[in-house]
Structure formats: structure tokens, C-alpha cells
């Protein structure tokens, strides 16, 4: 079962890679294409290592986990690219967003380190889990930005981001459960992980079935002075409005 | 022993809820798509009705009724005034949101935004929502005097006027920029 799923995953990854090349979507998504290429290459390498050394050998364990770290790093780059696709057209917002997203990722990594007790044996699982959690948090944060500012997002970008986020969430859950029930759960953990990745691959294939336009030019922006003049005025008015509401609330509280 | 398990599962649950919320189209945007009226027309409409709404909320009418009218009539008037006050409060929130939307549009179209201003607005919005809900619940429970909403309406309409001024200024600047670009094109100059 595990081997079949492994082969299916490799085949689905290759098919997606061919689709990306055929539709020339590597122009719009270079980092995502690089991630697919890295992932497919690593999958083949890990598969060959498995045949050479077997699933339970320490060499296979370290090799496969090392490859996973490379794959997660490539995925983080692809996610950064998708975040840029969402917001980079709006220079001002992007300038704010990338700092917030970076801070968010760093906070989540720190959270992961604190939440998990340190053990050498589980260091790789925990490193991967921390990175996956940071990826998921960054994607949710970028969607919150998109919603808050009412920015229009392309369906392909949304589908790619959702695929990454769901897969990362699944890996976090899976790794957490694996850590607690290490030996009993190992086979199931592997199969479920591959199924989740297959789901993401199918979602990405659907998202990239048509050629995607490269990132458009930056939006026509207002002169910088407008924001500097208007934003403080708006905030001042909003603050006054809030104070008025607060007064109303306090007066009511003292009366009753 | 199970603390990390709960912490990670809880975090993932929060992320998935956040993802679901962020992917849903906001209710106000759906309403805006259904309503052909523009942003400015809508906020203008609320300002137009303010005198009538204020009249409906004055204390004098109610005091007069409490002396002259039957209990049944007083109850009915109270109920109707409460529904007017609630509708008024909802309209104020609509105006507040329209103004916020304009502020966001300006932020999105600006080459540089100031984090402090953006977070300040976020905090103020959260504050407003909380207080609005509190006052709304009190109104629904019949605990809040309706006349005090007057001050609130003054502030919102004041904000509308300032925003209209800002938008007018933006329009004028855009027109000047377009005129400049078109005259440069006519002369065969590159604007970049």
C-alpha cells in the first residue's frame, strides 16, 4: 500500500511538473515550479534509498529526513512567492505585510520550540513541525490581509495557498501524533502524509490547469502625501468616535 | 505529557478556523455587490435622514406621552422608538464601515503606509465594534437612553464630511495628474 501510494505521488508530482512546463506557468510561479522539481527529485532519491537500505535502516531515516528539510525549505520559498503574488502589486501594503508575515513566522517558530520539549531523537520531527506551522500561519495571515484590505486575489493563487496551508496543518497534526505514539503509528503516519500530499497535488493541478498570467504591473498609486495627510485625520476621528462611545458606555455603567 | 499535543492541535484548529473565516467573502462586500448605490450615495443618505431620526429620539415626546397617554400606547411607542434607535445605530455602523473602507482603499493605493496608523485603525475598529455591540444589547434590553446617540451621529457625519473633502482633493489631484500625462503624451514625452 505504502509503495503504491509512493509511486502514485511521484507520478502525480511529475504530471503536475509537466503541466506547469506545458502551460508555461513556471514564468508566473518560478519558486513553485522549483519546489515541484525539488520535491519530485527528492521523492525519487528517497525511493531509491529505500530500495537500497530498507525502511528501518538508520541511513534511510537520516537521508529521508534531510531531504524533507530541503523540501520544506523549498516550500517556504514557494509560499513566499504566493504571498508576493497576493500583495506585491500594492507597494505600501506589501511593505507592511512582509514584515508582519516574517514576524508571524518567527513567533510561531518560537512557539513551536517552547511548546515542544527538547529531545535529540525527535529534533528533526520538531524542526519540520515548526516550519510547517509557520508556513500555515503565514498563509492564514496573508489571507487575513487580503480580506482586511479587500484586495482581489486570483483563484490560482488562492488554490495554491489553500493547498499549502491544508497540507502544512495536516503535517503538524500528523507529526504531533507521531511523537506521542511513535512506533505504533509509524506506518499509518506515512500513508496519511502521502494521502494529504496527493490531495494538495490534485488541488494544485486543478489550479494550474490553465496558463496563468505573470504578475501584472504595480497598481497606479496615489501620491505619497495623500496617505500622510488623510490617515492621521481618519484615525483622529475614529478615536474621538470611540471616546464618545466609551463615555456613553461608562455613563451607563455608573447609572445602573 | 499531553500538553504539547493540545497546544499543537489547538493551534492548528485556530489556524483552520482563521483560514475558513478569511476565505469567506465578507457580508458587507456581498451586500455592496447586491446594492447598486455607490459608497458616497449611501453615506450621504444616512446624513440626509439624521434630523428625522433625531426628532424620533427626543426625550420631550416621550415625557409628554408618559403624562397624557395610556400604558398600552406608551409601551407601543417605547417599542417603536427602540426599533428606530436600533436601526439608527445600525446605520451609524454602516457609515463607520463605509469610512473605514475608504481609509483602506487609500492605504491600498498608497506607495507607503505607516504601520502605526494601520494598527491604530485596527485597534479603533475593534474598540468600536465591541462598544457598538454593548450599546446595542443595552438598547435591546431597554436600558440605554436613546437621546445620547446624538453625539455619536455628529461625530460620524463630521467624519463623512472630512472624508468627502479628502476624496474631492484626491479626485482633483488625479485629474491634474491625468491632464499632465496626456499633455506629455501629446508632446511625445516619456512619463516614466
Please say if the pLDDT value at position A243 is more than 70.
Answer: yes
Give the pLDDT of residue A31: 96
The predicted model gives A197-209 an average pLDDT of: 94
A170 and A246 in a single domain? The answer is no
B96 and B112 in a single domain? The answer is yes
Share of chain A above pLDDT 70, in %: 88
Q: What does the DSSP 8-state code read for residue A29?
A: -
Give the pLDDT of residue A192: 86
A45 and A171 in a single domain? The answer is yes
Interface of A with B in 165-224 (CB under 8 A): 165, 169, 172-173, 176-177, 179-180, 219-224
Scanning every residue of chain A, which has its alpha carbon at the shortest distance from the alpha carbon of B21? A144
The pTM of this model reads 0.77
Please say if the pLDDT value at position B125 is more than 70.
Answer: yes
A57 and A168 in a single domain? The answer is yes
The predicted model gives B173-189 an average pLDDT of: 49
pLDDT classification of B111: cutoffs 50, 70, 90: confident
Give A121-141 pLDDT, tens digit per residue: 667 777 888 889 999 999 999
- Return the top range by mean pLDDT from A146-160, B21-35, B58-72: A146-160
The predicted model gives B62-82 an average pLDDT of: 79
Give the pLDDT of residue A138: 96
Cβ within 8 Å of residue B52, ≥6 positions away:
none
Lowest pLDDT segment from A31-45, A237-251, B178-192: B178-192
Please say if the pLDDT value at position B128 is more than 60.
Answer: yes
- Number of neighbouring beta carbons within 10 Å of residue B133: 11
In a domain, B121, yes or no: yes
Share of chain B above pLDDT 70, in %: 55
Cα dist from B159 to A124, B130, B152, B190, whole Å: 55, 20, 11, 40
Give the pLDDT of residue A231: 83
In a domain, B192, yes or no: no
Whether the CB of B175 is below 8 Å from some CB of chain A: the reply is no
Counted domains in chain B: 2
Report the distance separating Cα A103 and Cα B119, nearest Å: 15
Angle at Cα A234 formed by Cα A242 and Cα A241, nearest 5°?
Answer: 15
Residues of B in contact with A158 (CB under 8 A): 23
Pairwise CB contact (< 8 Å): A222 & B107: no
A48 and A174 in a single domain? The answer is yes
Domain boundaries, position B4: 1-30
Q: Which of A65, A61, A68, A105 is nearest to A83 (CA)?
A: A105
B42 and B18 in a single domain? The answer is no
- Return the top range by mean pLDDT from A38-47, A95-104, B84-93: A95-104
Give the pLDDT of residue B181: 47
Phi, psi of A98 (to 5 degrees): -65, -30
A165 and A242 in a single domain? The answer is no
Give the pLDDT of residue B192: 32
pLDDT classification of B161: cutoffs 50, 70, 90: low
pLDDT classification of B166: cutoffs 50, 70, 90: low
A131 and A20 in a single domain? The answer is yes
B18 and B68 in a single domain? The answer is no
Report the distance separating Cα A219 and Cα B108, nearest Å: 9
Q: Which of A141, A235, A247 should we substitute to test contact with B (largest number of B Cβ atoms within 10 Å)?
A: A235
In a 13 Å sphere around the CA of B85, the CA atoms on its Cβ side amount to 27
Cα dist from A55 to A3, A182, B134, whole Å: 11, 15, 60
Report the distance separating Cα B10 and Cα B7, nearest Å: 5
Instruction: Enter the ipTM.
Output: 0.84
Give the pLDDT of residue B29: 62
The predicted model gives A45-54 an average pLDDT of: 82
**Quick one: A126 exposed, middle or buried, by C-beta within 10 A (0-12, 13-18, 19+)?**
buried
Continuous segment of H or E residues that includes residue A184: helix A182-207
Lowest pLDDT segment from A34-48, A185-199, B168-182: B168-182
Instruction: Indicate left, alpha or beta for A24 from its phi (over 0: left) and psi (-120 to 50: alpha).
Output: left
Residues of B in contact with A224 (CB under 8 A): 110-112
Counted domains in chain A: 2
B100 and B157 in a single domain? The answer is yes
Q: What does the DSSP 8-state code read for residue A208?
A: T
Pairwise CB contact (< 8 Å): B22 & A92: no
Report the distance separating Cα B59 and Cα B81, nearest Å: 11
Whether the CB of B116 is below 8 Å from some CB of chain A: the reply is no
B49 and B78 in a single domain? The answer is yes
Q: State CA A179 to chain mean position distance.
A: 22
- CB of A140 closer than 8 Å to CB of A86: no
Q: State CA B99 to chain mean position distance.
A: 6
Give A10-27 pLDDT, tens digit per residue: 899 999 999 999 999 999
Q: Which of A89, A208, A108 is nearest to A146 (CA)?
A: A89
Instruction: Indicate left, alpha or beta for A150 from its phi (over 0: left) and psi (-120 to 50: alpha).
Output: left
In a domain, B128, yes or no: yes
B22 and B42 in a single domain? The answer is no
- CB of A26 closer than 8 Å to CB of A20: yes
Cβ within 8 Å of residue B99, ≥6 positions away:
A234, A237, B43, B156, B159, B160, B163
Give B4-15 pLDDT, tens digit per residue: 788 888 999 999
Give the pLDDT of residue A145: 94
The predicted model gives B75-87 an average pLDDT of: 78
Of A143, A144, A180, the CB nearest to B5: A180
Q: Which of B31, B113, B143 should we substitute to test contact with A (largest number of A Cβ atoms within 10 Å)?
A: B113
In a domain, B78, yes or no: yes
Higher local confidence (pLDDT), B84 or A104: A104
Scanning every residue of chain A, which has its alpha carbon at the shortest distance from the alpha carbon of B146? A248
Give the pLDDT of residue B5: 82
A209 and A232 in a single domain? The answer is no
Cα dist from A136 to A129, A170, A172, whole Å: 11, 10, 9
- CB of A115 closer than 8 Å to CB of B4: yes
pLDDT classification of A79: cutoffs 50, 70, 90: very high
pLDDT classification of B86: cutoffs 50, 70, 90: confident
B60 and B99 in a single domain? The answer is yes
In a domain, B191, yes or no: no
Give the pLDDT of residue B151: 55
- What distance separates the 2 farthest-apart alpha carbons in chain A? 80
Scanning every residue of chain B, which has its alpha carbon at the shortest distance from the alpha carbon of A169? B12
Give the pLDDT of residue A227: 86
Residues of A in contact with B149 (CB under 8 A): 248
- Return the top range by mean pLDDT from A121-125, B173-177, B178-182: A121-125
A126 and A250 in a single domain? The answer is no
Pairwise CB contact (< 8 Å): A133 & B158: no
Higher local confidence (pLDDT), B30 or A76: A76
A157 and A247 in a single domain? The answer is no
Of A92, A143, A150, the CB nearest to B110: A92
Cα dist from A32 to A21, A102, A107, B129, whole Å: 12, 19, 25, 40
A181 and A106 in a single domain? The answer is yes
The predicted model gives A223-229 an average pLDDT of: 82
B139 and B55 in a single domain? The answer is yes
Domain boundaries, position A125: 2-217
Q: Which of B43, B152, B124, B154 is nearest to A232 (CA)?
A: B124
A151 and A30 in a single domain? The answer is yes
pLDDT classification of A238: cutoffs 50, 70, 90: confident
Of B5, B115, B152, the CB nearest to A96: B115
B102 and B148 in a single domain? The answer is yes
Pairwise CB contact (< 8 Å): B19 & A151: no
A160 and A237 in a single domain? The answer is no
Residues of A in contact with B115 (CB under 8 A): 96, 99
Please say if the pLDDT value at position B65 is more than 90.
Answer: no
Whether the CB of A103 is below 8 Å from some CB of chain B: the reply is no
**Quick one: A147 exposed, middle or buried, by C-beta within 10 A (0-12, 13-18, 19+)?**
middle
Amino acid at each position: 500500500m505504502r509503495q503504491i501510494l509512493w509511486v502514485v505521488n511521484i507520478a502525480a508530482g511529475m504530471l503536475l511538473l509537466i503541466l506547469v512546463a506545458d502551460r508555461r506557468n513556471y514564468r508566473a510561479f518560478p519558486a513553485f515550479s522549483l519546489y515541484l522539481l525539488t520535491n519530485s527529485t527528492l521523492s525519487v532519491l528517497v525511493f531509491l534509498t529505500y530500495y537500497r537500505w530498507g525502511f528501518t535502516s538508520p541511513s534511510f531515516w537520516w537521508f529521508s529526513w534531510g531531504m524533507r528539510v530541503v523540501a520544506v525549505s523549498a516550500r517556504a520559498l514557494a509560499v513566499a512567492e504566493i504571498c508576493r503574488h497576493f500583495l506585491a502589486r500594492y507597494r505600501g501594503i506589501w511593505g507592511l505585510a512582509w514584515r508582519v508575515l516574517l514576524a508571524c513566522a518567527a513567533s510561531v517558530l518560537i512557539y513551536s520550540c517552547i511548546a515542544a520539549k527538547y529531545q535529540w531523537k525527535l529534533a528533526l520531527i520538531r524542526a519540520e513541525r515548526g516550519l510547517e506551522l509557520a508556513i500555515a500561519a503565514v498563509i492564514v495571515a496573508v489571507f487575513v490581509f487580503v480580506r482586511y484590505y479587500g484586495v482581489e486575489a486570483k483563484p490560482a493563487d488562492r488554490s495554491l495557498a489553500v493547498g499549502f496551508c491544508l497540507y502544512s496543518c495536516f503535517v503538524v497534526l500528523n507529526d504531533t501524533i507521531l511523537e506521542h505514539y511513535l512506533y505504533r503509528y509509524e506506518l499509518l503516519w506515512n500513508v496519511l502524509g502521502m494521502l494529504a500530499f496527493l490531495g494538495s497535488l490534485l488541488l494544485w493541478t486543478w489550479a494550474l490547469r490553465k496558463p496563468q498570467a505573470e504578475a501584472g504591473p504595480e497598481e497606479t498609486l496615489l501620491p505619497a502625501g495623500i496617505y500622510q495627510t488623510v490617515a492621521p485625520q481618519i484615525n483622529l476621528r475614529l478615536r474621538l468616535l470611540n471616546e464618545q462611545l466609551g463615555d456613553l458606555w461608562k455613563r451607563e455603567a455608573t447609572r445602573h | 505529557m499531553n500538553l504539547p499535543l493540545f497546544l499543537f492541535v489547538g493551534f492548528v484548529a485556530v489556524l483552520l478556523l482563521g483560514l475558513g473565516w478569511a476565505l469567506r467573502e465578507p457580508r458587507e462586500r456581498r451586500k455592496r455587490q447586491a446594492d447598486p448605490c455607490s459608497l458616497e450615495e449611501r453615506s450621504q443618505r444616512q446624513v440626509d435622514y439624521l434630523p428625522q431620526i433625531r426628532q424620533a429620539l427626543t426625550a420631550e415626546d416621550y415625557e409628554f406621552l408618559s403624562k397624557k397617554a395610556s400604558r398600552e400606547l406608551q409601551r407601543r411607542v417605547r417599542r417603536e422608538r427602540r426599533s428606530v434607535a436600533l436601526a439608527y445605530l445600525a446605520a451609524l455602523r454602516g457609515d463607520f464601515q463605509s469610512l473605514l473602507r475608504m481609509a483602506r482603499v487609500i492605504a491600498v493605493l498608497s506607495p507607503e503606509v505607516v504601520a502605526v496608523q494601520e494598527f491604530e485603525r485596527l485597534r479603533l475598529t475593534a474598540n468600536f465594534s465591541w462598544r457598538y455591540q454593548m450599546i446595542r444589547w443595552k438598547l435591546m434590553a431597554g436600558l440605554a437612553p436613546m437621546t445620547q446617540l446624538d453625539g455619536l451621529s455628529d461625530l460620524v457625519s463630521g467624519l463623512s464630511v472630512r472624508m468627502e473633502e479628502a476624496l474631492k482633493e484626491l479626485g482633483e489631484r488625479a485629474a491634474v495628474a491625468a491632464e499632465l500625462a496626456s499633455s506629455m503624451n501629446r508632446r511625445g514625452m516619456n512619463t516614466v
